[in-house]
Structure 1
Amino acid sequence: MTLTLQEKITEATDFIKAQGIGEIEFGLILGSGLGELGDEVEDAIAIKYDGIPYFPVSTVEGHAGQLVYGTLGEKKVLAMQGRFHYYEGYSLEEVTFPIRVMKALGIHSVIVTNAAGGINTSFSQGELMMITDHINYTGVNPLIGPNDSTMGPRFTDMSQAYDVAYQAIVRDVAKKMDLDLKEGVYIGYTGPTYETPAEIRMSRVMGADAVGMSTVPEVIVAAHAGLRVIGVSCITNLAAGMQATLNHAEVVETTERVKGTFKALIKNVLQAV
């Protein structure tokens, strides 16, 4: 018998609760090279993805592949050390399954992070960008198919997918840290190829400031589920045509260099919200 999505969510949720997971306020999705923030969680309980019913397994270098529950920035959090991507061969239902589980666990807000290429010509490698909006250029949508109205509306409003009140708090935190936090629009491609220089020129004309291969499906499902979202990109490289070549090693190296600032920002934001 084929299980429904709701049945899979319930089974995964029950398993996670049985590991000693209690009340949770924030979900954290930690992108390439940014998973070390999960190591800062206090009184941590770690749960490997491969033990959770119906959870995919992260196959990308720089992703630890586990949930970490505990306290961070005085908030109860559940952090994903490693996410799933459409380019790994997973369906978008599988990619966004953790968001559904987080909602079922009682989380009210999600902080989504990623490593991204800078499209905005004023951006520099190693800067952080608060995501104010996104462009879905993947050609797919995780909400295509039958809609379960208990999970969210058939037609989801994306006008404020990235919570405006949270954005004001993030700005204030960055100012107090004396951090030059950039802001902008994230455009999502499927990957796994990096974009061509022509695609980057097109994306810039369309109004994108940073580009990556994640985040968009997760945020769409978060909006569908009624979760509030904060998005932060680490600009790990300049996009195609703006530097000689692109490679994943550079992405990991840059996140390693700026991880202190990144971790401080997220912890301070959690304390402030």
Structure 2
Amino acid sequence: MKLLRHGAPGAEKPGLLDADGHIRDLSAHVSDLAGRWLTPEGLAEIAALDVSSLPLVDGNPRLGACVAGTGKFICIGLNYSDHAAETGASVPSEPIIFMKATSAIVGPNDDIEIPRGSEKTDWEVELGVVIGKTAKYVSEAEALDHVAGYCVINDVSERAFQTERQGQWTKGKSCDTFGPTGPWLVTKDEVADPQNLGMWLTVNGHRYQDGSSRTMVYGVAHLVSYLSQFMSLQPGDIISTGTPPGVGLGQKPNVFLKAGDVIELGIEGLGTQRQTCRQG
């Protein structure tokens, strides 16, 4: 299934994309795409519905983030060896973990706000993993049993805030609008191999990123297992798994986002995003 949330910010309703690409409203059956509705049992209830009986959503509504109630937005740094090389960093011997504030989460086509004082706002297309069943001390072999599905994430980053100011990366990753998520939560049964998905990103029509999840250093199963050794992962938590090469910081000379720029990105089978940048 391709699950989504549609409507005005703060008033999104759950829905799904039918076989003809039309949005069907789920709100008579599902409170929101959060909590128990992301569990295997909840997803099975949604899958058992007669899609043709669900109301069609008229027009072209705004899409919100494809998951609600996210408690943790966990990101993995330098998880593509070719991206590490372009930033001048070495491949880490263990996954690099940092957190992105959940207040950064927005819809896939919402504007990106260039924060005040920004010098180096950058882009990163990433594969998002949405947890569906609590994971604590799980093995790599059982890790994917705890995944509800996958989505597209733009891990927007302010590099000067991230690496040239004191402290950790969080403040360069957590600005408002820095977490476009969606358009859909694609359930794992529709993703044959999360480690073989094409990924791309353009700015103003120029393709900067053109990679694949197969070049991840640490794959999805490893990351879920690894993270679960340090913290429980709960339904609605998001893991953003790193980006392939082609970020603005890696260009020579560097290229960073400015007001008016248009970003488009996508992952094979998971849909596309489009954002316009505006000054905060």
Same fold? TM cut 0.5: no
**Larger % of helix: which?**
1
Structure 2 length-normalised TM: 0.28
Structure 1 length-normalised TM: 0.28
**Larger % of strand: which?**
2
